[in-house]
């Protein structure tokens, strides 16, 4: 079994800023959107930590377990959102 420690908030901020920053840099986004990178990533991490602390699993809600993959899915879906919106517009 391999157990890895949870990354620090600073490391999470760096990882997701690099991922999303590359996407924003390569895309055709207005400067206001590009400038919101730090705020978006910080807000996503804050929501993730709040969910982990407040939405604890209970016998009735055993599915309330959150991990770093859930935070990654938020960032990934943000990156794929423009393509999904374009598909909806085409239909």
| pLDDT tens for the chain, residues 1 to 91 | 777 787 899 999 999 899 888 888 888 888 888 888 899 899 888 888 888 888 777 777 766 677 777 778 877 777 777 665 565 555 5
- C-alpha–C-alpha distance, residues 26 and 33, integer Å: 13
- C-alpha–C-alpha distance, residues 61 and 38, integer Å: 33
pLDDT at 87: 54
pLDDT at 14: 94
pLDDT at 9: 92
pTM over 0.95: no
Q: How many helices (H) and strands (E) does the chain have?
A: 4, 0
């Amino acid at each position: 079994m391999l157990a890895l420690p949870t990354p620090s908030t600073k490391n999470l901020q760096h990882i997701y800023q690099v991922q999303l920053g590359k996407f924003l840099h390569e895309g055709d986004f207005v400067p206001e959107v590009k400038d919101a990178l730090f705020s978006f990533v910080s807000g996503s991490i804050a929501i993730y930590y709040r969910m982990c602390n407040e939405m604890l699993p209970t016998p009735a809600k055993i599915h309330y377990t959150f991990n770093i993959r859930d935070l990654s899915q938020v960032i990934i879906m943000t990156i794929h959102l423009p393509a999904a919106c374009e598909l909806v517009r085409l239909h």
